[in-house]
Amino acid sequence: MTSTPRPLVVKTTSGTERPEATNQAFTVAAAAVAAGADVSLWLTGESAWFALPGRAAELVLEHATPLPELLDLLVAEGRVTVCTQCAARRGITADDVLPGVRIAGAAVFVEESLRPDVQALVY
């Protein structure tokens, strides 16, 4: 009998100023989706910008899967959320983000992170 991977919540706070940390968060989240896990990726701080159309292409990292490809997979197969306060500080609204991306606050992050058997990672 095969077991289902446990749920994963990944929170990233970095943007283009820390490309390796940012890419690592997206890569781990995408790998977990590919493994069949229920994945929730949270974009906080400077990562909030990646929720806007075209912004993920601004992060270029040698020997890494392009961020737009990872983001497309995560939107299609997982959940992608922008922190409410982070969005507000940057003037980002629900009308600005990519289809399938939501804006939610700390209470939702805590709720997802405290579900049974969840693994939470912060980058």
pLDDT digits 0-9 by tens, 69-101: 999 999 999 999 999 999 999 999 999 999 999
- Mean pLDDT for the chain? 96
The pTM assigned to this predicted structure is 0.95
- Provide the pLDDT confidence category of residue 1 given band limits of 50, 70 and 90: very low
Q: Is 42 helix (H, G, I), strand (E, B) or coil?
A: strand
Q: From CA 73, how far away is CA 28, in angstroms rounded?
A: 12
For residue 64, give both structure tokens: 């890494």
Q: Is 122 left (phi over 0), alpha (psi -120 to 50) or beta?
A: beta
Handedness of CA 69, 40, 78, 6 (dihedral sign): positive
Mean pLDDT confidence for 22-39 = 97
Residue 3 has pLDDT above 90, yes or no: no
